[in-house]
Amino acid sequence: MSSTSYGIGLAGCGTVGTGVIRALHRNGALIQQRSGSEMQLEVKRILVRDLDKSRHETVAPALLTTDWQSLVDDPEIAIVVELIGGTGLAYDIVARALTLGKPVVTGNKALLAERGTELFALSKIHNTPIHFEAAVAGGIPIIKTVQEAFIGNRIKAMCGIINGTSNYILQRMSEARLDFATALQEAQSLGYAEADPTLDVNGWDAAHKAILLATLAYGFPISPTEIHVVGIEQVKPIDIDFAKQLGYVVKLLAVIREHDDDAIELRLQPSFVSKSHILASVNGVFNAVAVNGDGVGESLFYGRGAGEDPTASAVVADLVEAARSLAHELPHRGFLPWGKQGRLLPIEETSTAYYVRFDVTDRPGVVAEIATVLAEHRIGISGTHSPVNPENPDAAFVDMVFLLHSCPFGLLQKALQKIAHLDCVNSAPVVFRIEQL
């Protein structure tokens, strides 16, 4: 059987791009054997920002270019891999490739979450697929699972830890009682957090991934402007300690859930997760997604959510799929909207129990003042606590914690807006969901 070579145009040669080149170099023969063909995947051109930058020895200098159009338009390139990130140039590269009928492989969750509607429309028009397994949870095959393995299931819920940086920071705050800033600095020193960690700690990296999962599961496009996202910046050791006392751990949790009226709940925030739940044991930079299907029941997908090798593994798997689509003229894959009338449940209508921490002036009557407002809004209180700082037992300002019964989030927001104007409250309250998974 004669071999068929598929030229690859690699846009981006950072950590993941280098990992893809190394994986193809290391396991090229194995990939051919497992794919059951003489298919060869060959990197023909690599888009970089700086031609003079030092790179891994497997990156051939002769393949480097700074001209993205010449890479995409090159007739020797059959598949385009986009790994540069962002939503500007990345969009131009992907759109041009689709217009030329060249399958695209990308790990860019922000691009797909924010501009996916446009790109998937182009994908459909030109009958050319976008493969994006690497965009969610690194080497965990969660996209393929939702698209293919669970195609016969109605997805009832998906809950997950899908940002390893935040997960590592929260673990270190728990284990070593570090404050947020110190734990973040440690994560950066170990290479687990970027120099600019904003999207990791403010929740939006995970939110983009959650949007993609919900889009695939429920069949309609979701705008980032429609979802509720809270990061971990306000988490304090006191919150983590209190969670421990109650039998919980604090996790940055993505919650995707179908309701009886076909509305979809989608939110991302720090949450109290019971120590008895399997997600509570997901530590370090690992990711996990729990999926509940009406046929398969509960399934858990666990593994490294980022890094050179796990993410490169997902990219290479998509490269093989893209080559197969060219070799066998397979029908279009990717996101094809199938939901008739999808809608998101307004965040105000979502309900859980809550942990709320107030920064208050320590004087008589504080608990009664806050409790009065909660009672006016018919929000039940299951407990209150005001831990004493042993280093300063006579402090004038203290943290006051309220545990609240389940109620709609909109009702809680109204109560907290009124409480924030009390003379005894010094700053905006910090809210954690207490999840029942």
Q: Does the pLDDT value for residue 390 go beyond 60?
A: no
Active-site choice (102, 109, 209, 251):
209
Residue 172's closest CA among 80, 243, 250?
A: 250
Is 3.30.360.10 the CATH number for 142-304?
yes
pLDDT band at 392 (very low <50, low <70, confident <90, very high): low
CA-angle at 224, arms to 222 and 225, nearest 5°: 110
Strands (E), 120-226: 130-131, 155-161
Other Cβ atoms within 10 Å of 9 Cβ, number: 28
Other Cβ atoms within 10 Å of 226 Cβ, number: 13
Percentage of the residues of the chain whose pLDDT score is greater than 90? 74
Over residues 270-297, mean pLDDT: 95
Cβ proximity of 372 and 416 under 8 Å:
no
For 360, the token pair is 């208050």
Contacts of 38 (CB under 8 A, 6+ apart): 1, 2, 3, 4, 32
pLDDT at position 1? 40
Q: Is 340 annotated in the active site?
A: no
pLDDT at position 395? 59
**Per the CATH hierarchy, to which homologous superfamily does domain 347-434 belong?**
ACT domain (3.30.70.260)
Distance CA 234, CA 257 (A): 26
For 85, the token pair is 């990130």
Contacts of 347 (CB under 8 A, 6+ apart): 227, 228, 267, 409, 410
Distance CA 428, CA 329 (A): 57
pLDDT at position 331? 65
pLDDT at position 284? 92
Cβ proximity of 187 and 193 under 8 Å:
yes
pLDDT tens digits, 132-189: 999 999 889 999 999 889 999 999 999 999 999 999 999 999 999 999 999 999 999 9
Over residues 41-49, mean pLDDT: 94
Q: Does the pLDDT value for residue 272 go beyond 80?
A: yes
Over residues 373-395, mean pLDDT: 79
Residue 37's closest CA among 328, 312, 315, 331?
A: 328
Handedness of CA 10, 14, 15, 19 (dihedral sign): positive
Distance CA 319, CA 379 (A): 53
pTM: 0.90
Over residues 51-73, mean pLDDT: 92
Q: Does the pLDDT value for residue 106 go beyond 90?
A: yes
pLDDT at position 426? 92
DSSP state of 147: I
Q: Does the pLDDT value for residue 387 go beyond 70?
A: no
Domain residue spans of the chain: 4-138+308-328, 142-304, 347-434
Q: Which of 139-143, 198-202, 266-270, 337-341 has the lowest mean pLDDT?
A: 337-341
Domain 4-138+308-328: top CATH class? alpha beta
Say which residue, 29 or 433, is predicted with more confidence: 433
pLDDT tens digits, 84-98: 999 999 999 999 999
Distance CA 99, CA 89 (A): 15
For 247, the token pair is 């039998």
pLDDT at position 332? 61
